[in-house]
Amino acid sequence: MRRAVVLGGGGHFGAALCAGLLERGWNVTAVTRTGGRRAGLQKLSVKRVICDDGATGAMRHLVRGHELIIDAAAPYALDLHDGRQSHSQRLAAAKDRMASLIFAARANGSVLVYIGSFLTRYLMSEEYDRRLRIISASHPYFRMKLELERLAKKAAKRGDPIIIVNPTSLLGPGNLRIVEHCFVASVLHGKMPASFPDIINVMDVRDAAEATLRTLDAGIFGMPIWLSGHNISVHDLTEMIAKLGRVECPPRWRGLAMGAAVLYALENGMSVLGRGSRFPSLPVLLTLASRAVDQSSCQRALGVDLRPLETTIRDEIGWYRSRDLT
């Protein structure tokens, strides 16, 4: 039986990938950095390993004996500041981990699937306009994603069998991030400060996992595969969530830029006091950087039928409430 290891296997996307691999007959090892219950893995017949994959020598040990490695745990900066590390230290640690992963995959003769960010499409293209330049310079998240993808592309050009997948914003059951970083949960808990008219693109995590594995089946190496779903305004998405979840809809703001500036300044100020912000700026910055996108020709060729957005929202709300998370 073919063996795969999923780094970040207990996460939102990681668990969906584990489920898809099992359906394809793979023997799956799911790596998580912490213990405790991981709801997405509870009903899956996977081997679970708890390990800090960034520790010295850990990556080589984790990937040994696996033909396939999926990195669904690439580091990214959720918070604007980290009291333990500077921006440059966080970036250096992320790049060191990526270099170790690429080296371990090469030494093991494994195929590597790297899960990146849809926004690198714009950061690396002519669509890198002034607004996006300002946004990407404002938060370490963007530079980290960009630098890690550059390392993956460099290795692919060298001949390493690397698949690069860049999904858009993912929704659907199984999201275990803190409420403030989960779109649906933040609306259900009344922790979304406002909604905005800006258009974003969202995709069901299960559809993204299926598209990723079909990319693997097709052997599309080296070329970034951008995965997109439904274009919708933040106003309409929050209204849909509030209606289906029977909760109050957040107030509507006319513009997002001012809201982003306010939350960014608040997070900066709270960090000076050694405290985290109740409303982190990254989700709003990501929304501000997003835009309407159509499916790429490559994604259409993969033949994945997207779930209706309302079905995705209903399933995610049901998942939260079945676990008393709302």
Q: What is the pLDDT of residue 314?
A: 97
> What string of DSSP letters covers 35-46?
-S--GGGTTS--
Q: In what order do the strands lie in the sheet with 169-171?
A: 169-171, 199-204, 230-233
Q: Is the Cβ–Cβ distance between 293 and 201 less than 8 Å?
A: yes
Return the CATH number at 104. 3.40.50.720
Q: Which two tokens stand for residue 54?
A: 């960034």
Residue 129 located in a structural domain = yes
Q: What is the pLDDT of residue 201?
A: 93
Q: What is the pLDDT of residue 301?
A: 95
Q: What is the pLDDT of residue 266?
A: 64
Residue 165 located in a structural domain = yes
Q: Is the Cβ–Cβ distance between 205 and 169 less than 8 Å?
A: no
User: How do the pLDDT tens digits run along the chain, 326 residues long?
Assistant: 899 999 999 899 999 999 999 999 999 999 998 765 565 677 889 999 998 888 878 899 999 999 999 999 887 766 666 667 677 888 888 899 999 999 999 999 999 999 998 877 666 555 555 666 666 667 778 888 889 999 999 999 999 999 999 999 999 998 887 777 788 999 999 888 788 888 899 999 999 999 999 999 999 999 899 999 999 999 999 999 999 999 999 888 776 666 666 666 666 666 655 566 666 766 677 776 777 888 999 999 999 999 999 999 999 999 988 876 54
Beta-bridge partner residues of 30: 6, 48
In the chain, the number of structural domains is 1
Residue 326 located in a structural domain = no
Q: What is the pLDDT of residue 131?
A: 61
Residue 74 located in a structural domain = yes
The overall pTM is greater than 0.95: no
Residue 208 located in a structural domain = yes
Residue 27 located in a structural domain = yes
Q: What is the pLDDT of residue 143?
A: 83
- Domain of 103 in residue numbering reads as 3-321
Q: What is the pLDDT of residue 326?
A: 47
Please list, in sequence order, all residues whose beta carbon lies within 8 angstroms of the beta carbon of residue 252, skipping any fewer than 6 positions away: 194, 195, 196, 197, 235
Q: Which two tokens stand for residue 70?
A: 């999926």
Residue 218 located in a structural domain = yes
Residue 110 located in a structural domain = yes
Q: Is the Cβ–Cβ distance between 186 and 245 less than 8 Å?
A: no
